[in-house]
Amino acid sequence: MRLTKDEAMSLILRFAPNHRISSKTLLNKLLASFNLHLIPIDIEFKLNKFGSFSPDVDKLSSNDYFEKYAYEYNGTPCIGYRMKPPATELAEKTIRTKLEKILSVGELLAFKKEIQHLSTLSASDISDTEHRKLLVEVEDRDTLLQKVNTLHVDFYDLYQELDKIPEDSIVNITLRALIEYCYYLTKYLRDKRFKRLEEAYDHDAYMLDYYFLHILSRAIPMIKEEMGKKDKDSRVINKYYQFIVNSVKEYPFSLENPDLKKLVPA
């Protein structure tokens, strides 16, 4: 399950005040915020000095669901995005058929409020908060490396306990799959992605490296809690599984990479 570009755009414009977004940079930030809510979208983000950035957003052109419009701000020509009527229906359908499968009513409301709130901020304000949260700044490198190592050790411990989860239900199999996948993913992040961090800002980094680190650290307490429960919460487990496995497109650690096994030798 992954949201298409049109579905993501329809949701943002449906939730935004006046159903408009004033700039491409702000739109980039709003689309990137889906990742922190564990909503996989069909857009890959790179890291640049202004935070997460996607070349895909440049390519968005007016269609049935939204249109670009030109306006002037302090004498400077700007481009904004505004909703077209069919986007309302697409947004409702996306909520019903996709979001409600992974988000609870409370989580959906929190996501809607955050989009509304972020729409009123400047892109640089959003970027600062995002960078602090994801540890992308050069001065946070020590904390970042410590986090990578700790996460891998935590997932190694969980992986050793995999046999305690019986394979007798789909929710148990999903939990086992999540732990096993995360164990190899943290190994890959530690040994390949973050092994030699340059002193300078990494302009070619995949934002998913940072999103994954952030999400994986949130997954640990959830997994520990669910492992101890008889009636497991399949929605929560599935939400983490879907994001971690299905949000990748061009990212190397992907089930669609024929050489995946070579990335993380045993």
Partner 1 sequence: MALDPKNQYAFDECSILHFCQLRVPAAWRAVFGDVLQHRNYPKLLRLLHGLQKCFIPPYRFAPASNLEGNLIRTAEGLLEGRAAWMPNPVKKLILEQLQEYLESLDGYAAIEKGTEFSSVKAAFTAHQRPLAKSNPPKRVPKQSEI
Shortest Å, Cβ 55 to partner 1: 24
Which residue bears the tokens 């491409």?
24
Query: Would the CA dihedral through 59, 99, 110, 217 be positive or negative?
Result: negative
Shortest Å, Cβ 228 to partner 1: 19
Which residue bears the tokens 């302090």?
74
Cα-flanking dihedrals φ and ψ of residue 251, to 5°? Answer: -70, 135
Which DSSP helix (H) or strand (E) runs through 143?
helix 141-160
Q: Which is nearer to partner 1, 82 or 176 (CB)?
A: 176
Contact footprint for partner 1 (CB under 8 A): 162, 167-170, 173-174, 176-177, 179-181, 184, 241, 245, 254-258, 260-261, 266
Q: How far apart are CA 158 and CA 119, in angstroms?
A: 39
| Cα angle 37-55-254, degrees, rounded to a multiple of 5 | 60
Shortest Å, Cβ 230 to partner 1: 16
Q: Which is nearer to partner 1, 105 or 266 (CB)?
A: 266
Beta bridge partners of 78: 71
Q: Which is nearer to partner 1, 50 or 181 (CB)?
A: 181
Shortest Å, Cβ 11 to partner 1: 23
Alpha carbon of 258 to those of 95, 193, 202, 242, 252: distances in Å?
A: 33, 19, 27, 20, 10
Q: Which is nearer to partner 1, 68 or 224 (CB)?
A: 224
Q: Which is nearer to partner 1, 222 or 264 (CB)?
A: 264
Q: How far apart are CA 138 and CA 248, in angstroms?
A: 25
Q: Do residues 7 and 90 lie in contact, with contact meaning Cβ atoms separated by under 8 Å?
A: yes
Q: Which is nearer to partner 1, 87 or 248 (CB)?
A: 248
Shortest Å, Cβ 210 to partner 1: 22
Shortest Å, Cβ 259 to partner 1: 8
Q: Do residues 38 and 102 lie in contact, with contact meaning Cβ atoms separated by under 8 Å?
A: yes
